[in-house]
Amino acid sequence: MTRRTALAIFGAWRAAAAQKRIAIRGMYSHPKAFWDRGAKLDDYGVTALFVHGGSITAELLARAGAEGARVFAEFATLNGKGYVEKHPEAWPVNERGERAPAATWFLGACPTEPGFRALRMKQLEELLERRAVAGVWLDYFHWHAQFEDPHPILPETCFCESCLAAFAARTGVRAPQGETAMRARWILERHERAWRRWRVDVLLDWAREAKAVVRRVRPSALLGVYHCPWTDEEFGGARERILGLDLKQLAGVADVLSPMVYHGRMERKAEWVGDFVAWLSRRVGKRCRIWPIVQAQSEPREITADEFERVLRLGGGGGATGVMMFTAQSVAADGAKMDAMRRVYGEWGSR
């Protein structure tokens, strides 16, 4: 191929990419502040709302529908705060055999504790039965850790009796009897690979069960996952090693992946949003859809309207076919961000 032909092909591809249609033009969080301004979803090109499951009412569904938007439910999955205090058997146990402390504001729950798992699946089923949502997005979908801060907290968990028994049952690797700290050390020193693989499988199993619930109760609804936006290499492979997320395999279960590309909170440049979406698109191929969630909220530093517009556009790049922002409220509070969203969503909607 001559250089000229290559350039022509690249130019055509780039033009096609720029023209691509982004069907899911979303807002994350309850749209009350947006509506309180007198704004209408269809005037801003918004086609999808992502709202905490507990805040979805019949009125919300009716008004969103009348303004041309579908409603997806956020479903907090492996967060343990408020639960593990009353059910200490679900408190994640670290490699010292102690209850893992909260990782800044987040405290996970043990994903193999049967009572906790049964409760979450029941809550998921009830949510789908009660509300005609277009899909459910699993949130806090990882083993206990904190990845949303610039300096992540990445503890080794969970070495509770339930996990050690489940690991032994699945892999045949049985830690010697004795103190938890010794058993944890024995596993990490001698069977680290099997241990980390098993932890990934535990989460895939949760995703499969959640998908089965969705398909059974509301077959038209989609299953999405909000997840940590790290490549395979970052932080020593911690996304898979500590959080337990194999994105390629997860993409084979979930209908949609929503990487949480919060550039301001994670102290990254705006360009990183585009880089990560491109990386994820290559990594998962056509296995599932990609609808990133970008940052609009000025926390912990100011996100200007220009910067918000930039990450919104970058979020819709690569193989993404949808995008949303954290949060609708932050956009509604700033007239310039409202204008930016209308401009970008208007362009995408008119194609």
**Interface contacts to Zn ion, rule CB under 5 A:** 110, 158, 160, 162-163
Q: How far is the CB of 163 from Zn ion (least distance, A)?
A: 3
Which CB sits closer to Zn ion, 72 or 116?
A: 116
Q: How far is the CB of 205 from Zn ion (least distance, A)?
A: 14
Distance CA 137, CA 127 (A): 12
| Residue 202, CA atoms < 13 Å, CB-side half-sphere | 33
Which CB sits closer to Zn ion, 171 or 231?
A: 171
What end-to-end distance do the CA atoms of the chain give, in Å? 32
Which CB sits closer to Zn ion, 146 or 162?
A: 162
Beta bridge partners of 322: 24
Amino acid at 96: R
Q: How far is the CB of 171 from Zn ion (least distance, A)?
A: 15
Concatenated DSSP letters of 23-38: -EEEEES-THHHHHTT
Q: How far is the CB of 57 from Zn ion (least distance, A)?
A: 35
Cα→Cα distances 186→143, 177, 179, 236, Å:
20, 11, 11, 21
**3-class SS letters over 77-115:** CCECCCCCCCCHHHCCEECCCCECCCECCECECCCCCHH
Which CB sits closer to Zn ion, 156 or 246?
A: 156
Q: How far is the CB of 36 from Zn ion (least distance, A)?
A: 43
Q: How far is the CB of 248 from Zn ion (least distance, A)?
A: 25
Q: How far is the CB of 180 from Zn ion (least distance, A)?
A: 11
Q: How far is the CB of 137 from Zn ion (least distance, A)?
A: 24
Which CB sits closer to Zn ion, 90 or 253?
A: 90
Distance CA 156, CA 294 (A): 29
Nearest Cα residue to 317 out of 351, 348, 287, 340? 348
The DSSP secondary-structure symbol of 175 reads: P
Distance CA 351, CA 348 (A): 6
Token pair for 151: 């300096």
Residue with the two structure tokens 């670290």: 94
Helical residues (DSSP H) of the chain, grouped into ranges: 3-18, 32-36, 58-66, 114-130, 161-171, 180-190, 192-217, 234-241, 247-251, 271-284, 305-315, 328-332, 335-349
Q: How far is the CB of 14 from Zn ion (least distance, A)?
A: 48
Which CB sits closer to Zn ion, 112 or 295?
A: 112
Burial zone of 235 (CB within 10 Å; 0-12 exposed, 13-18 middle, 19+ buried): middle
Which CB sits closer to Zn ion, 183 or 265?
A: 183
Which CB sits closer to Zn ion, 156 or 307?
A: 156
